[in-house]
Structure 1
Amino acid sequence: MATWSDFENAEPEMAEAGKKLLYQFGVGLAFLATVRKDGAPRLHPICPTVVNGRLYALIVDSHKRNDLRRDGRYALHTFPPVDVDDEFLVMGRAKLIEDPEVAEMVRKDQVARGMTSTNDELAFEFGIERAMHAKYPGGHGTWPPKYSIWKER
Structure 2
Amino acid sequence: MTTWRDVEAAVPEFAERVQALFDAHKHKTIATLRADGSPRISGIEVTFDDGELTFGSMPNARKGCDLRRDPRFALHSATVDPVEGAEADWPGEAKIAGRAIPSGAITDGPDGELFRTEIAEVVLTHLNDAATLLVIQWWTPTHGLRTVERE
The bucket for the TM-score relative to the shorter chain is 0.7 to 0.9
State percent identity of aligned pairs. 30
Give unmatched runs, 5+ long, in structure 2.
Answer: 83-89, 143-151
Secondary structure of 1:97 counterpart: strand
Match of 2:96 among 90, 108, 111: 90
Q: Deviations over 1:12-34 (max 9, x none)?
A: 11111111111113x4x321000
Task: State the shift of 1:85 in Å.
Answer: 6.5
Task: State the shift of 1:86 in Å.
Answer: 1.0
Runs of 4+ aligned structure 1 residues displaced above 3 Å come to none
Alignment of 1:42-121 (within 5 A): 42-60=40-58, 61-81=60-80, 83=82, 84=90, 86-98=92-104, 103-104=106-107, 107=108, 117=109, 119-121=110-112
Q: Deviations over 1:79-137 (max 9, x none)?
A: 11354371101111001003x5xx42xx4xxxxxxxxx4x2211001110111101124
Aligned to 2:134: 145
Aligned to 1:12: 12
Residue 21 of structure 1 contacts residue 81 of structure 1 at CA under 8 Å; is this kept in 2?
Answer: no
Aligned residue identity for 2:48: V
Give unmatched runs, 5+ long, in structure 1.
Answer: 108-116
User: Larger % of strand: which?
Assistant: 2
Q: Say how many residue pairs are matched.
A: 134
The structure with higher relative contact order (CA 8 Å, sep 6+) is 1
Q: CA RMSD in A?
A: 2.0
Task: State the shift of 1:143 in Å.
Answer: 5.9
> Which is higher, the Rg of structure 1 or of structure 2?
2
